[in-house]
């Protein structure tokens, strides 16, 4: 599923096409996604999109009257196309722009969302989110304090959106490998030095994935239709049973929180 780097790449891809543009219409072919698309979202028609921001895995399209909130779910994608391009299967929403282009939302599994927040309203899906991992507030002091008293394993800990947003399964695997920390270690057993390494690696792996254009594994394609290339840089994710790139020991694969977890039992303690 699209994770934070893929969503950020989508934000960067669509922004030049939609910022400063007037929405002439929103076409909703299927109002039943993860949540029903609210009728109030029609207020975006006639409005100028002032900016596109990202919070966790949500894209926010801001206008003077409110904000459209888009989540890509497990298989969603956004494409910039000429207005009037014939719709295909799973093309659920079109945001038609007066410029002659449109933003098209495709989602085969329909686990994504289009929501609406009135001006100065903080939508409930955004109220309990932790800090952004690439911002300064997410540092070793913060994460170490959060880990105290937390017996949950460290992989689930860093994937908790109330602790820090956007560290999805792929990037949790990669960051823990680079930091040489076992994903099965209780969070409260990490030393301060280990937390310093882990925070640095989370920031590094996410920033590099964004630079590489996001990770294309199955469903995701960028706004311009080009795939991301970070999948070529993965060290451990999807490589259970293969040789560890650091020590050649066979990589272990287990389920943690029903998510595939790959790690090196020799390198990661």
Torsion over CA of 176, 177, 178 and 182, rounded to 10 degrees? Answer: 60
pLDDT given at position 206: 95
Q: Does residue 57 have an active-site annotation?
A: yes
Return the SS3 of 95: strand
Q: What does the alpha-carbon distance between residue 186 and residue 101 come to, in Å, rounded to a whole number?
A: 50
Q: Residue 268: inside a domain, yes or no? A: no
Catalytic-labelled residue, pool 54, 57, 79, 197: 57
If one counts the domains in the chain, the total is 2
Residue 34 assigned as binding residue: no
Active-site annotation holder among 2, 5, 133, 183: 2
Q: Does 177 reside within a domain?
A: yes
Q: How far is CA 50 from CA 189, 204, 237, in A?
A: 45, 30, 38
Question: Residue 109, annotated ligand binder?
Answer: yes
Averaged over 169-192, what is the pLDDT? Answer: 97
Handedness of CA 21, 229, 225, 3 (dihedral sign): negative
Active-site annotation holds for 3: yes
Rounded CA gap, 180 and 195, in Å? Answer: 11
In a domain, 133, yes or no: no
Catalytic site includes residue 259 = yes
Q: Which of 126, 148, 177 is the last residue of a domain?
A: 126
State yes or no: is 31 an active-site residue. no
Residue 241 located in a structural domain: yes
pLDDT attached to residue 213: 78
Give me the pLDDT at residue 212, please.
Answer: 83
Q: Which residues pair with 91 in a beta bridge?
A: 106
Structural domain containing residue 193:
140-263
Contacts of 38 (CB under 8 A, 6+ apart): 115, 116
Is there a single domain that holds both residue 184 and residue 247? Answer: yes
Q: Which of 31, 186, 259, 266 is catalytic?
A: 259
Q: Residue 211's pLDDT is what?
A: 85
* Per-residue pLDDT tens over the stretch 195-234: 999 999 999 999 998 888 766 545 555 666 665 656 768 8
Of 48 and 228, the structure prediction assigns the larger pLDDT to: 48
Here the CATH number for the domain that contains residue 113 is: 3.20.190.10
- pLDDT band with cut points at 50, 70 and 90 for residue 158: very high
Nearest by Cα to 175 from 159, 192, 151? 159
């Amino acid at each position: 599923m699209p994770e934070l780097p893929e969503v950020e790449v989508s934000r960067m891809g669509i922004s030049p096409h939609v910022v400063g543009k007037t929405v002439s219409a929103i076409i909703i072919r299927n109002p039943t996604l993860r949540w029903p698309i609210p009728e109030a979202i029609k207020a975006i028609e006639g409005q100028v999109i002032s900016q596109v921001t990202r919070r966790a895995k949500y894209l926010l399209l801001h206008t003077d009257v409110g904000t459209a909130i888009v989540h890509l779910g497990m298989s969603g994608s956004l494409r910039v196309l000429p207005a009037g391009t014939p719709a295909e299967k799973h093309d659920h929403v079109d945001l038609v722009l007066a410029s002659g282009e449109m933003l098209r939302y495709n989602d085969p599994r329909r686990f994504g969302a289009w929501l609406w927040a009135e001006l100065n309203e903080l939508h409930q899906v955004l109220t309990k989110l932790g800090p952004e991992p690439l911002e300064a507030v997410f540092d070793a002091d913060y994460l170490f304090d959060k880990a105290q008293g937390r017996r949950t394993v460290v992989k689930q800990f860093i994937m908790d959106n109330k602790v820090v947003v956007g560290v999805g399964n792929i990037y949790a695997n990669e960051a823990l490998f680079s930091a040489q920390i076992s994903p099965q270690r209780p969070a409260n057993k990490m030393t301060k030095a280990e937390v310093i390494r882990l925070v640095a690696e989370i920031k590094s792996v996410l920033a590099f994935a964004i630079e590489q254009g996001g990770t294309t594994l199955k469903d995701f394609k960028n706004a311009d239709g080009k795939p991301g290339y970070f999948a070529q840089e993965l060290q451990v994710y999807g490589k259970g049973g293969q040789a560890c790139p650091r020590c050649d020991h066979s990589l272990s694969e287990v389920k943690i929180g029903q998510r595939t977890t790959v790690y090196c039992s020799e390198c990661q303690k």
